[in-house]
Structure 1
Amino acid sequence: MKHTWKALKDRFGDRDGESITKEDCRAHTAERHKKGIADGTIHTEPGHLRMVLVWGEKNGLIAKAPPVERPKKPEPKNRYMTREEARKMLAEARTPHLRLAFHLMLATAARVTAILELTWDRVDLERKLIYLRDPSDAARRKGRAIVPINTTLLAVLKEARTGAMTDYVVDWAGQPVKSLKKGIATAADKAGLDGISAHVFRHTAAVWMIEAGVPMEEVSQYLGHKNSAITSRVYARYSPTHLRKAAEALDMGIYVVPSGSSEPAKENTK
């Protein structure tokens, strides 16, 4: 919310809440589009403005919260990495902190901010758990779960722990890392891959879990979603069994494959 307010305050900061109009919202959207801001971000900002106005109404600061217009929420991006592409990204991560960050994003499905804010006191190497949510942070953090550490990540973390120079898991030259954007872009360019961003790592992790048949509820918990309906809406189509029963219900039965056979389908003579 604090980050969002930076984008809203110039236009709405000194305004009386009830005076905000749809035209103001449209002007904000147009301005953000002109600056090249992502559609998802532009969709979120007016939503946060609406939350503040509704809060003001409930607490008697304004008589009524005005309607807030915002652009349609963009469709989820479909880009995710194959395992071969992920290996290429890891191979092109030439610095230890970048390689560690890539492993963390793939193995925890966490958002990049959660990875960069992760401190060693929330990494339990004995119990093999990572606590992505900082208990000392009173702010509500989107999608931060407690996730297990798999075998590969455990080895990577143990190696990183021996050379740690700060309390932060991902550090560089004795300082916490503020952004991975440039590092990801450089590695992707060297790997010959297009469309790779920090969010693609999270999306990739989710798709891999779904493709492996992990129950939607477990994937939802791993991603830190509030409920599995959110997860299902975005990721169900990646499940090998998604809509399979529905498709079979429409089968005319003209061709059959003998049970347990690898033979091509044959005409059903029954």
Structure 2
Amino acid sequence: MPTCTLRQHDNEKWYIHWTEGRRSRRVSTGQKEEAKAQTFLARWILGEQQDATDEGAKFLVSELWQLYYERHVEKNNANVRTADTVWRNLAVHFGAMTLAEVDSAVEDYISLRQDGAIGNSEAAPATIRHELSRLKACFNWCAAPKQKIMRPADVPVFDLPPDSDPRTRWLRTEEIQKLLDAAVEHRKANQYSDGARLSRAERFLWLALETGTRLQAALDLTWDRIDFETGNINFNVPGRKKTKKRRTTVPISAALRPILLRAYAERAGDLVLDNKSLSIWRMVKAIAKRAKVEGVSPHVLRHTAATHMLRNRVPVWQVAGVLGVTVQMIEKIYGHHVPDGLLGAVDSISGGSLEPAE
């Protein structure tokens, strides 16, 4: 283990600094008090140099999360924003606890999140399940043989809330048209580029509804990955870390093509949506309010694209290819929209050879 030093940064937090392979490295202790930072350093070195011992059980949850975040999340996740959001809620309740205190605190956390006492609003069971799943992932990573930060026997054991039923909200054709019409009205009313240039929200709505792409993929999209000659959009960023949220190449639909051609002529930079600011979603919510269309979210737009494809009898495997998910996932979430796809199967049971009794 190379020599480590503690240094306090401008944000008042103490960081561990060391050199590895001629490169300077650092990791945050998450502490503003030097004494606590020294304790973190001692435990951090212990995790680096020794096999896991009962010392691991004395770590605070915040210390374990910091190790997990610095060594795993930042290195292996293309977008750490979700992990940051999850930890903001977990930290309020679990941050100052030791492992021994976690088990008995889970039920309280579930109750507090459901009531809105933690977080900005009341949380759905699926949200709480996701947050606690990330906490479990942190503990399991720290207990893995490769890390040896804590013993597997010290990993807290607790049940997760039951998974929610798949969300079924999707926009019907008339709702989509209202949303797009309201987007034009919103642009002109707010005089974006004198009301002539398509707003960021309009471009995103068209992309989401015509390709089923996720918000982050749309924010990352650059013009050089839209090929008007072959008619394809490549949502995968070159060199991007591979994650479960796969990004695919999607054909440009007949409805989307004139929108993209106009947006290309009006482009103000390399990014299709101008920049990666999440303020775009405030614009979309304002448009949905103007259109009087309720329940609009990035997930609902993606869900809408999938639902319309399936209702128009697009094969499940093709829908899975567009969305970048498995066929099993499509069948689980969206299969109820195409029960007539099973007609041939049930018709073959008797082959039409049976006759009703008189």
User: Does the TM-score normalized on the shorter chain lie above 0.5?
Assistant: yes
How many percent of aligned residue pairs carry the same amino acid?
A: 27
Matched, 1:60 2:148: yes
Per the alignment, residue 91 of structure 1 pairs with 181
Aligned letter for 1:228?
Answer: V
Conserved 8 A contact 2:288-2:296: yes
Once the two structures are superposed, what CA deviation does each residue of 1:167-218 show, in whole Å capped at 9, x if it has no partner? 22113xxx44413433233222332322222221111100111112112122
Per the alignment, residue 106 of structure 1 pairs with 209
Distance 1:117 1:21 in 2: 38
Aligned-pair RMSD on alpha carbons? 2.6
Aligned letter for 1:230?
Answer: M
Per the alignment, residue 223 of structure 1 pairs with 323
Per the alignment, residue 258 of structure 1 pairs with none
Per the alignment, residue 239 of structure 1 pairs with 338
Conserved 8 A contact 1:213-1:240: no
Aligned letter for 1:8?
Answer: L
| Bigger RCO (CA 8 Å, 6+ sep) | 1
CA pair 7-119 structure 1, distance change in 2 beyond 3 A: farther
Per the alignment, residue 108 of structure 2 pairs with 27
Per the alignment, residue 127 of structure 1 pairs with 230
Match among 3, 8, 16 for residue 90 of structure 2: 8
The alpha-carbon deviation at position 86 of structure 1 amounts to 0.9
Distance 1:23 1:98 in 2: 45
Query: Aligned pairs, how many?
Result: 251
Matched, 1:164 2:267: yes
Per the alignment, residue 71 of structure 2 pairs with none
TM-score w.r.t. length of structure 1: 0.81
Per the alignment, residue 117 of structure 1 pairs with 220
Aligned letter for 1:149?
Answer: I
Once the two structures are superposed, what CA deviation does each residue of 1:53-90 show, in whole Å capped at 9, x if it has no partner? 11222132211132243222211221111122211111
CA pair 124-185 structure 1, distance change in 2 beyond 3 A: same
Distance 2:269 2:112 in 1: 40
Match among 196, 217, 223 for residue 296 of structure 2: 196
CA pair 154-41 structure 1, distance change in 2 beyond 3 A: same
CA pair 23-221 structure 1, distance change in 2 beyond 3 A: farther
Matched, 1:138 2:238: no
Conserved 8 A contact 2:178-2:291: yes
Higher normalized helix content (fraction of residues): 2
Aligned letter for 1:144?
Answer: R
Conserved 8 A contact 2:231-2:252: yes
Moved more, 228-237 or 7-16: 7-16
Structure 1: tracts of 5 or more residues without a match: 255-267
The alpha-carbon deviation at position 110 of structure 1 amounts to 1.3
Once the two structures are superposed, what CA deviation does each residue of 1:13-46 show, in whole Å capped at 9, x if it has no partner? 4555x43533322232233221323443222111
